[in-house]
C-alpha cells in the first residue's frame, strides 16, 4: 500500500467518527483521482482529498489575558486550557475531538506530520521564512484531544497572546497561516484595557491585514470581560472607545460583540443600565456559540461542493483545454515539418545541382536498403525532435499564461504525458487526451451522481420532516 493510501485510510478512519458520510466522500475523491492520474493531471502521489482541510477551523486570537482560554474552556465544558492573568502559553494549541475520555496532549510534530490536520508540513514553511534558532515545530504547536461534543467535527485553536516586542516571526507566520485556513476567527479584546495604546499591537498584527480580505465576514471582534467594565460605571464609554479604535484602524465593517464569561464574572449590582448590558452580553455570547456550532454543518456541504467543482472542472475545463492544446501541438508539428521538408527539398536540390555531387545508385538493392533505412531513421529522429521542440515551446507558454498553480502544474504534467515520444510516433491517430472517452465520462458522471446523494443524505441527517435540526454529529 502506498504512503498516500495509508494517509487516506487514516483520514477515513478519523472522519468516520464525525459523520458516516465522510469516508464515502473520500472514496469519491479517490475515484476522481484515478481519472486525473490517467489524464496525467495529478501525479500519483497527489490526491484531491488532501487538497482540502476536512475540518472546519475556528481560531481564537487576541491579546494576552483577554480571556481566550477561559472562553474556550467554557465552550467545551472542559477544563482543557490553563488560564491565568499572566502570559502562560506561548504555543498554539490545536484542539480536536476524540471519543477517548481522557484529554491527551501531543507535541506539535504530531500535527506537522499528519496530513489530516491543516498544519501538515507547516514547519517547512516556517523554516523557510524565519532565521531563528528554535526551529522545532514543537516550540510553536501542540495538539490536545478532548471528548467534548462541542468540538466534534471541527478544530479549535487557542493562541498565545500578542506581545509585539517578544513576537517571533515564526509565531506571526503561523498566525497568518491559521487565519488563512480558518472558517471563523474570533479576535479577543480586553475590556479592561480598551484604550488605543494597548490595542494597537493586536490591531496591527491581527486586524490591519484583514480589512481588505474577501473573507472578512469570518472575523468576529469580541470585547471580553465586560463584567469588570460594567462594575465601573462607564461601560458604554468603554464600548464606544473600543469601536472608535477599531474604526481608526480602518475596521468599520464586521461583527462586533461584547461578552463576559458567565463562570468567571464578578457579580454586579442590578441597575437598568447593567441589566441592559448583561442582556446584550448574553445575547452576543449565544450568537457567537451559534456561529461556532453551525460551522461544521457548513463545512460538510462545502466539502461536497468542492468534490462537485473538481469533477466538473476536470470534465468541462481541463479536458477541453487539453484537447485544444493537443490539436495546437499537432498543427504546429505539421507546419514545422512542412517547413523543414520544403526547406530541405529546395536547398538540398540546389546544393546537389550546384555541387554536382554524384548520387548513389539506388537500383542496387543493398544501396537502396541502406539509403532508405537511413532516411527513415533520420526522418523519425527529426519528427521526434520537432515534436519535443514544439512541446517545450508550448509548455513555456502554458507556464506564463495559467496563473493558478494547481491547474498550471496539472495541465503541464498532462500535456507532457499527452505529447510523449510514443504519442508523437502515432501523432496522426491522436485525437483525444490519454484515456479520455466514454468510460471516463461515465466515471465522472458517477461522481456527480454521488454528490447529489451526499447532499440528500446530509439534508436528512440535519433536518427531519418536521423541520427540527438534529445534531451535526448524529450518525445516520
Ligand atoms: N471577570 C472576568 N474574568 C475573566 C473573564 N474571562 C477571563 N477572565 C480571567 O482573565 C484571566 C485571563 O484569562 P485567560 O483565559 O487565561 O486569557 P488568555 O491569555 O487570553 O487565554 C483569568 O484569570 C480568567 O479567570 C471574564 O469574562 N470576566
Ligand atoms: Mg490562554
- Look at residue 125 in the predicted model and tell me its pLDDT: 63
The answer to whether residues 224 and 85 belong to one domain is: yes
Q: For residue 187, give the ligand nearest its CA.
A: 1
Task: Say yes or no: CB of residue 230 within 6 Å of ligand 1.
Answer: no
Give 133's pLDDT tier (boundaries 50, 70, 90): low
Contact 112, 137 (CB under 8 A): yes
The answer to whether residues 257 and 376 belong to one domain is: no
E strand or H helix that includes residue 410: helix 405-418
The answer to whether residues 64 and 175 belong to one domain is: yes
- Look at residue 476 in the predicted model and tell me its pLDDT: 35
- Look at residue 356 in the predicted model and tell me its pLDDT: 74
Q: For residue 142, is it left (φ>0), alpha (ψ between -120 and 50) or beta?
A: beta
* Phi, psi of 471, deg, nearest 5: -65, 145
* Phi, psi of 257, deg, nearest 5: -125, 150
Confirm whether 405 is domain-assigned. Answer: yes
Task: Say yes or no: CB of residue 160 within 6 Å of ligand 1.
Answer: no
The answer to whether residues 248 and 352 belong to one domain is: no
Per-residue pLDDT of 160-205, as tens digits, reads 876 655 556 667 777 877 887 788 999 998 888 765 555 666 666 6
Taking the C-alpha atoms of residue 48 and residue 311, their distance in angstroms, rounded to an integer, is 10
Domain of 218: which CATH number? 3.40.50.300
Say which residue, 134 or 266, is predicted with more confidence. 266
The count of C-alpha atoms lying within 13 angstroms of the C-alpha of 322, restricted to the half-sphere facing its C-beta, is 31
Taking the C-alpha atoms of residue 470 and residue 476, their distance in angstroms, rounded to an integer, is 11
Confirm whether 289 is domain-assigned. Answer: no
**Ligand 1 atom at minimum distance from 261 CA:** 27
Query: DSSP letter string over 428-466?
Result: GG--S-TT-SHHHHHHHHHHHHHHHHHHHHHHHHHB-TT
Average pLDDT, stretch 87-97? 78
Confirm whether 311 is domain-assigned. Answer: no
Confirm whether 32 is domain-assigned. Answer: no
Taking the C-alpha atoms of residue 325 and residue 319, their distance in angstroms, rounded to an integer, is 10
The answer to whether residues 94 and 219 belong to one domain is: yes
Average pLDDT, stretch 278-302? 89
Per-residue pLDDT of 313-326, as tens digits, reads 999 999 999 999 99
Q: For residue 68, give the ligand nearest its CA.
A: 1
| Domain termination residue (choose one: 268, 289, 308) | 268
Confirm whether 464 is domain-assigned. Answer: no
Q: Where are the alpha helices (DSSP H) in 17-56?
A: 21-39
- Look at residue 467 in the predicted model and tell me its pLDDT: 40
Give 328's pLDDT tier (boundaries 50, 70, 90): very high
| Domain termination residue (choose one: 228, 244, 268) | 268
Q: Is the pLDDT of residue 465 over 80?
A: no
Q: Is the pLDDT of residue 332 over 60?
A: yes
Q: Is the pLDDT of residue 228 over 90?
A: no
Which of 59, 63, 70, 82 is the best mutation target for the ligand 1 pocket, counting ligand atoms within 8 Å of the beta carbon and taking the most?
70
The answer to whether residues 82 and 197 belong to one domain is: yes
The answer to whether residues 328 and 409 belong to one domain is: yes
Number of domains in the chain: 2
Q: Is the pLDDT of residue 466 over 50?
A: no
Confirm whether 305 is domain-assigned. Answer: no
- Look at residue 471 in the predicted model and tell me its pLDDT: 45
Give me the numbers of helices (H) and strands (E) for the chain, helices first please: 15, 8
Give 437's pLDDT tier (boundaries 50, 70, 90): very high
Q: Is the pLDDT of residue 55 over 90?
A: no
Task: Say yes or no: CB of residue 266 within 6 Å of ligand 1.
Answer: yes
Contact 140, 76 (CB under 8 A): no
The answer to whether residues 75 and 205 belong to one domain is: yes
Percent of the chain at pLDDT > 90 equals 42
Q: Closest Cα to atom 1, ligand 1: which residue? A: 265
**Ligand 1 atom at minimum distance from 66 CA:** 20
Q: If you average pLDDT over every residue of the chain, what do you get?
A: 84
**Ligand 2 center to 66 CA (angstroms):** 8
Task: Say yes or no: CB of residue 258 within 6 Å of ligand 1.
Answer: no
Confirm whether 364 is domain-assigned. Answer: yes
Domain containing 132: what range?
Answer: 57-268
Range picked from 41-50, 179-188, 289-298 for highest mean pLDDT: 41-50
The answer to whether residues 235 and 334 belong to one domain is: no
Average pLDDT, stretch 4-29? 86
Question: What is the SS3 assignment for 145?
Answer: strand
* pTM of the full structure: 0.68
Question: What is the SS3 assignment for 90?
Answer: coil
The answer to whether residues 119 and 222 belong to one domain is: yes
Range picked from 108-117, 180-189, 203-212 for highest mean pLDDT: 180-189
Task: Say yes or no: CB of residue 193 within 6 Å of ligand 1.
Answer: no
The answer to whether residues 255 and 361 belong to one domain is: no
Q: Is the pLDDT of residue 135 over 60?
A: no
Q: Closest Cα to atom 6, ligand 1: which residue? A: 67
- Look at residue 451 in the predicted model and tell me its pLDDT: 95
DSSP 209: G
**Ligand 1 center to 224 CA (angstroms):** 9
Confirm whether 307 is domain-assigned. Answer: no
Task: Say yes or no: CB of residue 70 within 6 Å of ligand 1.
Answer: yes
Angle at 160 between CA 157 and CA 162, to 5 degrees: 125
The answer to whether residues 334 and 406 belong to one domain is: yes
Amino acid at each position: 500500500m502506498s504512503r498516500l493510501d495509508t494517509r487516506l485510510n487514516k483520514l477515513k478512519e478519523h472522519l468516520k467518527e464525525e459523520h458516516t458520510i465522510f469516508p464515502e466522500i473520500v472514496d469519491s475523491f479517490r475515484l476522481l483521482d484515478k481519472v486525473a492520474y490517467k489524464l496525467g493531471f495529478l501525479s500519483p502521489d497527489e490526491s484531491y482529498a488532501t487538497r482540502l482541510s476536512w475540518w472546519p477551523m475556528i481560531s481564537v486570537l487576541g491579546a494576552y489575558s483577554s480571556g481566550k482560554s477561559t472562553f474556550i474552556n467554557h465552550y467545551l465544558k472542559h477544563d482543557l486550557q490553563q488560564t491565568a492573568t499572566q502570559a502562560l502559553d506561548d504555543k498554539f494549541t490545536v484542539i480536536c475531538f476524540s471519543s477517548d475520555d481522557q484529554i491527551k496532549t501531543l507535541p506539535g510534530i504530531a500535527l506537522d506530520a499528519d496530513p489530516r490536520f491543516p498544519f501538515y508540513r507547516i514547519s517547512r514553511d516556517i523554516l523557510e521564512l524565519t532565521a531563528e534558532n528554535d526551529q522545532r515545530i514543537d516550540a510553536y504547536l501542540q495538539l490536545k484531544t478532548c471528548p467534548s461534543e462541542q468540538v466534534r467535527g471541527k478544530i479549535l485553536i487557542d493562541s498565545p497572546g500578542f506581545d509585539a516586542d517578544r513576537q517571533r516571526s515564526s509565531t506571526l507566520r503561523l498566525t497568518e497561516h491559521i487565519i488563512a485556513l480558518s472558517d471563523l476567527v474570533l479576535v479577543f479584546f480586553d475590556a479592561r484595557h480598551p484604550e488605543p495604546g494597548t490595542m494597537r499591537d493586536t490591531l496591527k498584527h491581527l486586524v490591519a491585514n484583514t480589512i481588505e480580505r474577501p473573507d472578512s465576514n469570518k472575523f468576529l471582534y469580541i470585547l471580553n470581560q465586560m463584567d469588570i467594565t460594567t462594575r465601573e460605571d462607564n461601560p458604554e464609554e468603554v464600548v464606544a472607545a473600543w469601536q472608535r479604535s477599531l474604526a481608526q484602524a480602518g475596521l468599520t465593517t464586521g461583527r462586533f460583540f461584547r461578552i463576559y464569561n458567565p463562570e468567571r464574572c464578578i457579580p454586579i449590582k442590578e441597575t437598568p443600565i447593567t441589566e441592559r448590558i448583561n442582556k446584550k452580553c448574553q445575547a452576543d455570547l449565544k450568537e457567537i456559540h451559534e456561529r461556532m456550532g453551525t460551522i461544521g454543518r457548513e463545512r460538510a456541504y462545502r466539502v461536497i461542493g468542492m468534490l462537485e467543482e473538481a469533477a466538473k472542472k476536470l470534465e468541462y475545463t481541463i479536458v477541453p483545454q487539453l484537447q485544444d492544446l493537443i490539436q495546437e501541438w499537432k498543427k504546429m508539428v505539421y507546419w514545422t515539418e512542412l517547413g523543414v521538408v520544403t526547406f530541405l527539398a529546395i536547398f538540398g536540390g540546389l546544393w546537389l545541382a550546384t555541387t554536382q555531387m554524384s548520387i548513389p545508385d539506388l537500383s542496387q538493392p543493398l544501396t537502396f536498403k541502406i539509403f532508405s533505412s537511413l532516411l527513415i531513421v533520420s526522418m523519425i529522429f527529426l519528427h521526434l525532435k520537432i515534436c519535443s521542440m514544439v512541446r517545450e515551446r508550448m509548455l513555456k507558454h502554458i507556464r506564463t499564461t495559467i496563473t493558478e498553480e494547481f491547474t498550471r502544474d496539472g495541465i503541464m504534467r498532462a500535456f507532457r504525458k499527452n505529447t510523449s515520444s510514443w504519442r508523437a510516433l502515432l501523432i496522426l491517430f491522436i485525437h483525444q487526451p490519454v484515456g479520455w472517452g466514454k468510460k471516463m465520462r461515465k466515471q465522472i458522471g458517477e461522481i456527480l451522481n454521488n454528490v447529489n446523494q451526499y447532499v440528500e443524505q446530509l439534508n436528512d441527517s440535519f433536518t427531519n420532516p418536521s423541520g427540527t435540526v438534529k445534531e451535526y454529529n448524529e450518525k445516520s
